[in-house]
Structure 1
Amino acid sequence: MLFDLAVLYLSSLPALAHDSLLFKNIDDEGVDGIMRIYDKVHQINKQVFIAFDKQSSYSDETYEILQNNRVLQLASNGHELYGKSWNREVKNETKL
């Protein structure tokens, strides 16, 4: 992740995307530090897009950074993308 951020800072690349899977093996303090770096990317007129699970599991600072910078937040119970959970199995589904 730090290599990706270095490339973002040192190149003409306009944006970076990180999936939630990348955060799984990083300790909480590491995630907090990465969030602080993400929070400063706008100063160089670039963007970071992340998929992030369990934001309430991290520090208050990380939670605040995520809340202040989010564009889209998905959740269950009607807050799924397109209003539907695509990982649920449906019986007797009509085939196209």
Structure 2
Amino acid sequence: MTFTPRPLMCMALLMAPFSVFAATIKETGAAELEISNKTRHPINVFQGQWKAVVLPDERLLTQDFKDASLTVSTSTPEAAIRFVSLTTGKGCKAKICVLITGN
């Protein structure tokens, strides 16, 4: 079986996007995430083996979320999470902030 230049060029073009994305991924250190509770009720934050409670208008700096997923839930049945915003804005002590709003 012989390959002509045209199919090889098509294969190279199809595979090019994968190599471009692979080259842009950088290995960084611990990825901290700040949880900011903008609700009127406490919220629970679960990650791996630990659980934390974030009171209203309080903040929590989490561990590296690459190793364990982060779960956020309300602590009472009448509480509700309305919006979750991901930001790197001012006032954020970590590289990434999650703002949780509701009532």
Q: Which has the higher contact order (CA 8 A, sep 6+)?
A: 2
Name the structure with the higher strand share: 2
TM range, smaller chain: under 0.3
Q: Structure 1 length as normaliser, TM-score? A: 0.23
Name the structure with the higher helix share: 1
Q: Structure 2 length as normaliser, TM-score? A: 0.22
